Structure 1
């Protein structure tokens, strides 16, 4: 789940912050309409990317440790389900805290109607959670025997 949260954060930061440029970390509080405000937003976007990098690195470490244990069954459905659970959890937590509670930014800043975009982001997070949960449950049946090398 940590790996999924980190990767989901990268999708958010790369796609919504950088490619589409729909928002920045502080764009509701400090609209990036001048060079100083844009630089402040860019700095906090960098802090955000550093945090999701740490989540991803910790997730890789946990996955590596689990891969060394012979009692942990290998399951593609469980792996993908865990990734989706983490991404969904990231979306729901980030959406509730940054968009709703703190109001740091909204999914799409360039409209008067910000709430539908924020609710769609939360709904997408909910769908990811449901899909991830279903895959993890289905993966419980994947109990293929493992060799000493995890193959």
Structure 2
């Protein structure tokens, strides 16, 4: 990065890039989960411990949550673009981190601890759980690596700005 107005904006709004990406990633992962696994494949509902009607209502609330998170992330994204402070690499790392965090939370907390639903109601659900959680961990690791790379760049840029 060179020392100019764009770079100063990126440094100033580095954390907002993370917030925007995490919100968008959470919302996107939740939207894909709800659309693919709840609606298209009909493997489960958000809440499966009641009637189908309650399951559908819970899916609607879950879908609303995913859209609020997605839209919130996109509003922040637009603000970053307007301020000339969008750092795409940092943003994409945060998207992966947010999506992976949502998926791991869903796979461990909602599926296993709270038992709100399972990925799929089959005899060997452990295979589905393993794949679901492994994909989540992969997204978290890749997102974290990207964020660590951008953090090193951020630190160098802050040093350059303080020396100038």
Question: What is the TM-score when the length of structure 1 is the normalising length?
Answer: 0.77
Q: Specify which of 25, 42, 58 is matched with residue 4 of structure 1.
A: 25
**Residue 135 of structure 1 aligns with which residue?**
146
Q: Specify which of 57, 71, 75 is matched with residue 61 of structure 1.
A: 75
Gaps of at least 5 residues in structure 1 are 31-36, 144-151
Give the whole-Å Cα distance in 1 for the aligned partners of 2:145 and 2:125: 31
**Residue 130 of structure 2 aligns with which residue?**
119
Mapped contact 1:75–1:139 kept (Cα < 8 A): no
**Residue 93 of structure 1 aligns with which residue?**
105
RMSD over equivalenced CA pairs, Å: 2.1
Does residue 41 (structure 1) correspond to residue 55 (structure 2)? The answer is: yes
Mapped contact 1:76–1:139 kept (Cα < 8 A): no
Name the structure where helix makes up a greater proportion of residues: 2
Structure 1 residue 67: deviation in Å?
3.1
Mapped contact 1:85–1:133 kept (Cα < 8 A): yes
Structure 2 SS opposite 1:131:
helix
Gaps of at least 5 residues in structure 2 are 1-21, 157-164
Question: What is the TM-score when the length of structure 2 is the normalising length?
Answer: 0.71
Does residue 84 (structure 1) correspond to residue 110 (structure 2)? The answer is: no
**Residue 22 of structure 1 aligns with which residue?**
43
Structure 1 residue 139: deviation in Å?
4.1
Structure 1 residue 53: deviation in Å?
1.0
Structure 1 residue 23: deviation in Å?
1.3
Q: Who wins on radius of gyration, i.e. which is larger? A: 2
- Number of positions where the alignment pairs a residue of Structure 1 with one of Structure 2: 133
